[in-house]
Chain A
Amino acid sequence: MVPLSYYLILSAILFTLGVAGFLFKRNIVTIFMSVELMLNAVNLTFVALSYSLRQLDGQIIVFFVMVIAAAEAAVGLAIIITVFRNRESLNVDRIDLMKL
């Protein structure tokens, strides 16, 4: 037996780690993976809440979030490929043709 809040705090930790990865990492693919980590944390929240609210809706939302994440990942990786094709570098600091 484990308090519900433990699950929710775990997901908050994972979410924050994802945010940190997004803000501080330099490689585009890793940045994108941090976003996937964030979405995983959200999924955990939904499943845990689904348990505590005794409903299946949370799990169904997780299903949808997974599909959307897959679609986004596919398109995102395709865009990363086009960037790389024209540029040969995956460092986000080098990608700044358009400045303020």
Chain B
Amino acid sequence: MYQLLFFVFAGAAVGFAINLLLQRHPIHSALSLIGVMASLASLYLMLGAEFIAAAQIIVYAGAIMVLFVFVIMLLNAGEEERTQRSRFAKYLGLPLILLLVTSMAAVIYRQVPQDAMVRFGDFPGRTADIGRRLFLNYLLPFEVVSIVILVAIIGTVVLARKDSETEGPGKAVVSEK
């Protein structure tokens, strides 16, 4: 049963990811990415990481991807055009990627002990334990991350706000060239 669920969600994740690459319009890619994240959230549940699964849905799929979708809609980006793709990408691209993935998979498969199994139950800890460890051992990164968020907010306002005097592509300044 566990195996079946694993293959269903894993297959879904890979399927959505491949779809992300194959789609031409960014909105379809965004929706595929959301599919990947949902499948991953299910896999996290199967690994016993309830807090992370919830965070994945709420933060990643629910906030970050929504932001992506907003921007795609806002910019009204059209379909990807067929630009001149280099020969390198067309012919060497796929084989190189396959090579990369098979070598990584081979390394992992050989080195991980055969008896390391994942089963439902037997989980490392509960959400309360996460909280305790977070504030005991990882207090410093936690505080630093709040500065990161502040910086992100400053950044988005500084960069993306509407300037009252200058608006629109006509008023762009091209410094030389």
The answer to whether any beta carbons of A and B sit under 8 Å apart in the complex is yes
Of residues 45 through 97 on chain A, the ones whose CB sits less than 8 Å from some CB of chain B are 47-48, 50-57, 59-60, 62-64, 66-75, 77-82, 84-88, 90-91, 93, 97
Report the separation of the CA atoms of residues A44 and B151 in the bound assembly, to the nearest whole angstrom: 27
Contacts of B60 in A (CB 8 A): 40, 66, 69-70
Report the separation of the CA atoms of residues A88 and B75 in the bound assembly, to the nearest whole angstrom: 9
- A-B pair count, CB < 8 Å, reads 241
A91 vs chain B, min Cβ distance (A): 6
B82 vs chain A, min Cβ distance (A): 9
Residue pairs across A and B with Cβ atoms less than 8 A apart, 27 shown, are A2-B118, A3-B114, A4-B118, A5-B112, A16-B97, A16-B101, A17-B20, A29-B71, A30-B20, A30-B29, A33-B68, A40-B37, A40-B60, A59-B51, A63-B130, A64-B141, A64-B145, A66-B55, A67-B145, A70-B149, A74-B153, A74-B155, A78-B155, A81-B74, A81-B75, A87-B169, A90-B26
Q: Is the CB of A75 within 8 A of B77?
A: no
Q: Which 10 A-B pairs have the closest CB atoms?
A: A71-B152, A86-B172, A4-B116, A78-B159, A78-B160, A16-B101, A12-B104, A5-B112, A78-B156, A75-B155
Classify the secondary structure of A's interface with B.
helix
Contacts of A86 in B (CB 8 A): 169, 172
Interface size on B, residues (CB 8 A): 81
Of residues 4 through 47 on chain A, the ones whose CB sits less than 8 Å from some CB of chain B are 4-10, 12-21, 23-27, 29-30, 32-34, 36-37, 40, 43-44, 47
